[in-house]
A and B are shown apart, each in its own frame.
Chain A
Amino acid sequence: MRISDKFEELKSRNEGALISYICAGDPSTELTKSAVKALIKGGADIIELGLPFSDPCADGPVIQSATDRAISAGMTPERYFELVSTLQVDVPLVCMTYYNIIYKRGIKKFIEDCSSSGITGIIVPDLPVEESDELGLACAKNKVDLIFLVAPTTNENRLHKILDKSTGFLYMVSRTGVTGGSTDIGTDIADLLTGIKKCTDIPIAVGFGISNRNQVADIISYGAEGVIAGSAFVDIIASGKNVEHRLESLACDLKSGCRE
């Protein structure tokens, strides 16, 4: 399913999107499969599936540990695409990985593999818009959305450059820092959102430090089309306790914030 279709569908229902991140192969491909099912059952609209990299410099400790567990358990790009192609789901699947993983496989091949396995969008946190031409071309050719991040530090000039190249949705980073922890959802986020929305019609999803329903409700009320939560789900997987059930109920709770 294409990301834009999902946002259209949600718009007609007047709902925000819940985008849920987990790391593929953490701690096993079997668990990833059941975790994806649980997240969708709980209400996740888009699944962001991390393809682990040894040096994830944009991630906080929770996702770093997930990455280490997944690599130790044998996750590779080859196995990742196998896993993705076995997921029988009717929500968009987005790949999150670092640029070296893509570069090493070959940009063209990587994106073709995304396309043929069922990935319809890709997020590369260490690839700024200036370095993205080659990947952007391959994505366009294979109908894979290339999703860029904007940050509180992004100035207007850069924002326009990023918007020019963005497809799918725009990933708005809620604060300076790495993934995880907790973010106070305040007026600065509202201002940032308002500023970006003036310049674009592309859906905006806010991520970094999102873990509870109130945050989600605030972000949606400020005008975002979606939220991204990752570390909160990964924490549950790391605990190893009652994982599927707790993933489902957290997704359900966050999704309820998208409907308020």
Chain B
Amino acid sequence: MNKSKYGIYGGQYVPEILMPALQELEDEYSRYRNDPQFQQDLNYYLRDFAGRETPLYHAKNLSRKYKTKIYLKREDLVHGGAHKLNNTLGQALLAKYMGKKRIIAETGAGQHGTATSMAGANLNLDTLIYMGAKDVVRQKMNVYRMEILGARVKAVESGSKTLKDAINEALRDWVTNVDTTHYLIGSVVGPHPYPMIVRDFQSIIGKEVKEQIMQKEGRYPDSIIACAGGGSNAMGIFYPFIENKDVSMFAVEAGGSGMELTSKAALHSASMCTGEVGVLHGACTKVLQNQNGQILESHSISAGLDYSGVGPELAYLADTGRINPCHVSDEEALNAFHEMSRLEGIIPALESSHALAYVMIKAESGELGDLVVINLSGRGDKDLETVIKAGKWKGGNI
């Protein structure tokens, strides 16, 4: 297999201008990934700045209710409130080692933009975040967060004015400023070597789980459940377990408000479950598209899952049967959001609520086994406004 491909997926579908930069990134990454100094620096930032390792928490009340032993990997406790910083610290440090002065990133809800701004501020890199104009309005608080951290936020007015257009605009910036700039992609998407690099930096999640579950249970879990938009938290927790064939893996996509498509938009973001093979943002993968090959706008109540494509390696693992793609709706995720908050005293991100919802729905069927790990990829403080607007407020009189 071509090193840049996962089966038919992956590859490098980018303008010629960027090809040398992708080569440079691949070369520099393979130079530093095993470099002791780089590893030492990264470990330092992950421990003392990001707060790793994160706990693997036995959710007793959830376990009791669903008659399954459920552990939560607490990525919500990472600095910034989500797993995103694992990747941004790794890539920002890499950019620094590569001598780049400037980093750019796309963001949908603002989580990756915030994590990039944190890493950029700490490592003294000039930071510019592209964000769809619609998302700028929907996620005002995260825009403030990024600006307070010293980043500039540029609202993208082209196309559907959401995440996919922010990626297009970041690619255009990179094409223009490729000598000075590192494009810090936030998920396991884009052209090779990005899906590999982001997966590697996020794999710390699964590596920790492997040790922690062994200590606590003396065995690996029967199943691991993670939500998947682009799929970075899913790849991060799955990857170290790929060869452990007894561990089932479920990638929960956003079923949105229904599984239908129109000629311009999908009501969901379930590209693994329903997408067709296509080329988007530099990679061949499963893509939500119409019969003419135009990319469809996606939908999810959770902005972090609202994306028309998915990481190429996930698409490949789904085709081979190693992971099971599935989906839950906006409403199911909202219910899980509330149930989790009340049962365990942890407010989960709406993204992670999709993984929780799947477990709540499936636990009693026995399909998931007796010992389950859920990647709690982020905390839900950022989602309160969305939850209130959805009319699903269960917090008393306001």
Contacts and interface: CB of A to CB of B under 8 A. Distances in A.
Interface of A: 53-58, 60-61, 64-65, 68, 71, 76-78, 98-105, 125-128, 130-131, 148-155, 158, 162, 173, 176-178
Contact of A128 (B19, B159, B171): B19
B16 A154 contact: yes
Nearest to A151: B17
B66 to A, nearest CB: 41
B292 A104 contact: yes
A100 B16 contact: no
Given A55-B159, A76-B292, A176-B176, A128 B279 contact: no
Nearest to A110: B293
A54 B175 contact: no
B21 A100 contact: no
A30 to B, nearest CB: 21
A104 B289 contact: yes
B218 to A, nearest CB: 47
A105 B293 contact: yes
A242 to B, nearest CB: 27
Contact of A100 (B19, B177, B280): B280
B61 interface: no
Given A64-B158, A71-B294, A101-B292, A55 B280 contact: yes
Contacts of B21: 153
Contacts of B281: 55, 57
Nearest to A59: B172
Contacts of A178: 172, 175-176
B293 A104 contact: yes
A109 B251 CA distance: 34
B15 A125 contact: yes
B279 A103 contact: yes
Q: Which residue among A65, A127, A153 has the maximum number of chain B CB atoms within 10 Å of its CB?
A: A153
A151 B16 contact: yes
Given A100-B293, A176-B176, A126 B15 contact: yes
Contacts of B279: 98-100, 103, 126
Main secondary structure of the interface of B (DSSP, over half): mixed
Interface in B260-299: 276-282, 284, 287, 289, 291-295
Nearest to B179: A176
Q: Which residue among B280, B291, B292 has the maximum number of chain A CB atoms within 10 Å of its CB?
A: B292
Interface string B14-57: 11111111000000000000000000000000000000000000
Given A77-B292, A126-B279, A176 B175 contact: yes
11 contacts: A57-B14, A57-B171, A58-B172, A65-B158, A100-B278, A104-B291, A104-B292, A128-B12, A148-B16, A176-B176, A176-B179
B213 interface: no
Q: Which residue among A53, A99, A126 has the maximum number of chain B CB atoms within 10 Å of its CB?
A: A126
B11 A131 contact: yes
B382 interface: no
Given A55-B281, A58-B172, A99-B13, 11 more contacts: A55-B164, A55-B168, A56-B168, A71-B294, A78-B292, A99-B279, A100-B279, A103-B278, A105-B292, A126-B279, A127-B13
Contacts of B177: 176
Contacts of A78: 292
B293 A53 contact: yes
